Structure 1
Amino acid sequence: MLKIGITGQNGFVGNHLYNTLGLFPDEFERVDFDKSFFENQQQLDAFVKQCDVIVHLAAMNRHESQEVIYATNLDLVEKLVSSLERTQSKPHLLFSSSSQEERDNLYGKSKKEGRELFVNWAGRNETKFTGLIIPNVFGPFGKPNYNSFVATFCHKLTHNEIPTIDVDGEVKLIYVGELVQEIISQIRTGNSESELIISHTSTHKVSEVLAKLNYYKQTYFDKGEIPVLDTTFDLNLFNTFRCYFDIQNHYPVKFVQHTDPRGAFVEVIRLGVGGQVSFSTTVPGITRGNHYHTRKIERFAVIKGKALIQLRKIGTDEVFNFYLDGDEPAYVDMPIWYTHNIKNIGDEDLYTNFWINEPYNPQDADTYFVEV
């Protein structure tokens, strides 16, 4: 079993990598890292000595001063190299550099010079190093105004703000989940490559991305309709958008209920995509679920009885509780990377409709069981 440490494990890419490695408990053991280790030689050395693999992701992306970015990023590299030298450790080291290496800015310069320092360390110590040249990364939980223009747009559209475009250029993009899979692939193969260019998976003008996000806002955020998702990029962008909701205040969303002497009619979901619709009854006191998905879109719609739906983002402790009652039919959608359940808290059977955007496949279920 490989022991893997991630500097910057609580950052955007680091958190996704950390959580994804956790899906393979028989293959990888995660060595926890905290940014305070960089200020404590003893703790940094203890971390380094444990690791078979270190993925160095810790870095400063944005600051008012380019000089501060440059100095900070090189300082982190130098501290890690010094620790490796002191402890005589020889892990496989992977470093996240950037396609900005060749641009005329100090962030790109800090990445290029940092990679060169690691190359020299690996050469002196005859150990493995992989320098990843990474394009623009987007995905769930990135910080607006910091990690990506996609994060900024998503946050603004879901918080009553209007995004603006500074420069409408073409951007080469990779989804964070795709990047994480590439990093894990490099860990598994164990190859040494000082300059490994990670291919982007899509190219879009900034205005094209904003147009898609505006479409998601109008169809999904405002109306609850699952939009047309023609490509893998569309699915990844939509799942990214969904993770910027203030879910505490957005859910549960009440359905429009039409009644007449015959009874009531409720439209549960409008689809621009296919998927699978299910129906369940749950006896009082029983809980279903306690699992999460990394790509699937899912809706729970309560049409009769009383239910408690709970969500918790993986890696956090905060639990969101939503109380639904069939007398006022409503739904809650499940963001990716949120474990969720539904419990019958009433005295009669609970009736629930479930929709998910892809039929269940036991060979690729994308369903991971974790208690909320």
Structure 2
Amino acid sequence: MLRLALTGGRGFLGWHVRVLARALGWPDPVLLSGADLMDAATVAAKLDGVDRVLHLAGVNRGDPQEVAGGNVELAAALARGLRRCPTPPGSVVFANSVQSGNGTPYGDAKAVAAATLAVARPDLIDVKLPNLYGEHGRPYYNSVVATFCRLLAEQRSPEVHEDREVTLVHVTDAAARLMGAPDGGPWDSAMPGLRVGIRELADRLTGFATAYRGGEIPALSDRHAVRLFNTYRSHCFPTHYPLPVTRRADQRGELVETVKVHGGGGQTFCSTSRPGVTRGEHFHLAKVERFCVLRGTAEIRLRRVGDDDVVRFPVSGAEPVVVDMPTMWAHNIVNTGSDELLTLFWTNEIFDPARPDTWPEPVELTTAEPAAEPAVVPA
């Protein structure tokens, strides 16, 4: 269990670091704002005695001079604070770029930033990151994946102006590498990359979107397919939910199509809940999970990890719909009726008690909820 301090902790990579720290049960990281970095005494006080500092803050877009100057100054400000720290951090990690030193203003500034930090901390851990993608990336800024996903979520089409190959790494894998996270979860600190052409990426994401608009699950053949699909889903939430389901009835009764998976399986199970009972109170880092109430009435509640706002979906077996849980959102389902609740759950993978990808987290932060299930229970 490490006590972290982060610059850029509210950015894309920073949020994923904080979510992974929450999953691991580590203390909430100490965050250094841009204003904090401008005062060496404040930096020194905040870093005093922490185990690991992650320098994530940077300037990725904008005027070339601002990009170059901003990245160098952020590193210099952190270095000044490190020199004044009474109890120096155990380690300092720089989220560098594979573009470091490539002759561009951004790349050269990253190289200077690394050298600046290395003067203050000769044992600097310099991690050169490739293109990162993942849930809740900022379109037109963080990655082409985020841009394509947002366009598709808005039912627009990605445009490929230059088809070239890129290496993509999921941001949770990068977070694990920077944090020195132990093995045992759905992350890989070796940062396995997906080598893909831009046009192929656009076609792949378009296929996901086409299937998912009808509530169908596309083929999720490998871990990058799952994570790309989860990234797309993050841009659909919450406005695209609940998803309608096909319902047929005749003299024998009714049939509801809850899950259609292209080229894959997973696990389906049902549970009953007595009135007032809450199930869930956890989040997932990679698992795709679907809820469908078949009998009774309920409310599905979700909260993005690190945020306060709760999204609520009232659902009923009288008019079945499906709601898919976005990754890194705490979620639960509460029986709000006076009768027993019957809920169908589906996940894209068979439950593994040794690696459940189920991390306890209450949805409601200000009201007491019934005790959550153990983490080894799938839903």
TM-score by shorter chain over 0.5 = yes
1:363 equivalenced with 2:361 (yes/no) = no
Aligned residue in 1 for 2:21: 21
Aligned residue in 2 for 1:262: 252
Instruction: Kindly indicate whether the alpha-carbon contact (under 8 Å) linking 2:173 and 2:190 is maintained by their aligned counterparts in 1.
Output: no
Q: Identify the match of residue 136 of structure 1 among 121, 131, 140.
A: 131
Separation in 2 of the partners of 1:155 and 1:9? 23
Deviates more, 1:157-166 or 1:5-14: 157-166
Separation in 2 of the partners of 1:358 and 1:133? 32
Separation in 2 of the partners of 1:355 and 1:202? 27
TM-fit CA distance, 1:179? 1.2
Q: Per-residue displacement from partner, 1:185-218 (whole Å, max 9, x unpaired)?
A: 3x779xxxxxxx9765121001111111000000
Aligned residue in 1 for 2:165: 170
Instruction: Kindly indicate whether the alpha-carbon contact (under 8 Å) linking 2:288 and 2:347 is maintained by their aligned counterparts in 1.
Output: yes
Unaligned stretches of 5+ in structure 2?
184-188, 364-379
TM score, norm. by length of structure 2: 0.89
Aligned residue in 2 for 1:115: 114
Instruction: Kindly indicate whether the alpha-carbon contact (under 8 Å) linking 2:134 and 2:228 is maintained by their aligned counterparts in 1.
Output: yes
1:9 equivalenced with 2:1 (yes/no) = no
TM-fit CA distance, 1:24? 2.7
Aligned residue in 1 for 2:376: none
Q: Secondary structure at the match of 2:209?
A: helix
TM-fit CA distance, 1:5? 0.4
TM-fit CA distance, 1:333? 0.4
Separation in 2 of the partners of 1:122 and 1:188? 24
Separation in 1 of the partners of 2:154 and 2:347? 26
Separation in 1 of the partners of 2:112 and 2:274? 62
Instruction: Kindly indicate whether the alpha-carbon contact (under 8 Å) linking 1:31 and 1:50 is maintained by their aligned counterparts in 2.
Output: no
1:253 equivalenced with 2:243 (yes/no) = yes
Separation in 1 of the partners of 2:2 and 2:224? 32
Q: What letter corresponds to residue 154 of structure 2 in structure 1?
A: H
Q: Secondary structure at the match of 1:243?
A: helix
Aligned residue in 1 for 2:68: 70
Q: Secondary structure at the match of 1:150?
A: helix
1:208 equivalenced with 2:206 (yes/no) = no
Separation in 2 of the partners of 1:84 and 1:188? 26
Deviates more, 1:157-166 or 1:287-296: 157-166
1:347 equivalenced with 2:347 (yes/no) = no
Query: Structure 1 residues 188, 294: CA separation in 2 closer, same or farther (over 3 Å shift)?
Result: closer
Q: What letter corresponds to residue 341 of structure 2 in structure 1?
A: L
Instruction: Kindly indicate whether the alpha-carbon contact (under 8 Å) linking 1:254 and 1:328 is maintained by their aligned counterparts in 2.
Output: no
1:84 equivalenced with 2:76 (yes/no) = no
Instruction: Kindly indicate whether the alpha-carbon contact (under 8 Å) linking 1:12 and 1:147 is maintained by their aligned counterparts in 2.
Output: yes
Q: What letter corresponds to residue 137 of structure 1 in structure 2?
A: L
TM-fit CA distance, 1:119? 1.7
Q: Per-residue displacement from partner, 1:284-326 (whole Å, max 9, x unpaired)?
A: 1111111111110000011111110001110001100001111
Q: Secondary structure at the match of 1:167?
A: coil
Q: Secondary structure at the match of 2:168?
A: strand
TM-fit CA distance, 1:22? 2.3
Q: Identify the match of residue 222 of structure 2 among 207, 231, 246.
A: 231
Unaligned stretches of 5+ in structure 1?
190-196
Q: Secondary structure at the match of 2:219?
A: coil
Q: Secondary structure at the match of 1:226?
A: coil
Separation in 1 of the partners of 2:222 and 2:334? 35
Separation in 1 of the partners of 2:265 and 2:51? 43
Q: Secondary structure at the match of 1:115?
A: helix
Aligned residue in 2 for 1:193: none
Instruction: Kindly indicate whether the alpha-carbon contact (under 8 Å) linking 1:139 and 1:237 is maintained by their aligned counterparts in 2.
Output: yes
Separation in 2 of the partners of 1:117 and 1:36? 20
Instruction: Kindly indicate whether the alpha-carbon contact (under 8 Å) linking 2:114 and 2:126 is maintained by their aligned counterparts in 1.
Output: yes
Q: Secondary structure at the match of 1:47?
A: helix
Separation in 1 of the partners of 2:209 and 2:251? 36
Instruction: Kindly indicate whether the alpha-carbon contact (under 8 Å) linking 2:101 and 2:110 is maintained by their aligned counterparts in 1.
Output: no
Separation in 2 of the partners of 1:42 and 1:86? 7
Query: How much is the aligned-residue C-alpha RMSD, in angstroms?
Result: 1.9
Separation in 1 of the partners of 2:326 and 2:34? 28
Instruction: Kindly indicate whether the alpha-carbon contact (under 8 Å) linking 1:297 and 1:333 is maintained by their aligned counterparts in 2.
Output: yes
Instruction: Kindly indicate whether the alpha-carbon contact (under 8 Å) linking 2:18 and 2:28 is maintained by their aligned counterparts in 1.
Output: no
Query: Structure 1 residues 101, 198: CA separation in 2 closer, same or farther (over 3 Å shift)?
Result: farther
Q: Secondary structure at the match of 1:104?
A: coil
TM-fit CA distance, 1:89? 5.0
Q: Percent identity?
A: 33
Query: Structure 1 residues 254, 134: CA separation in 2 closer, same or farther (over 3 Å shift)?
Result: same
Aligned residue in 2 for 1:319: 310
TM-fit CA distance, 1:34? 2.9
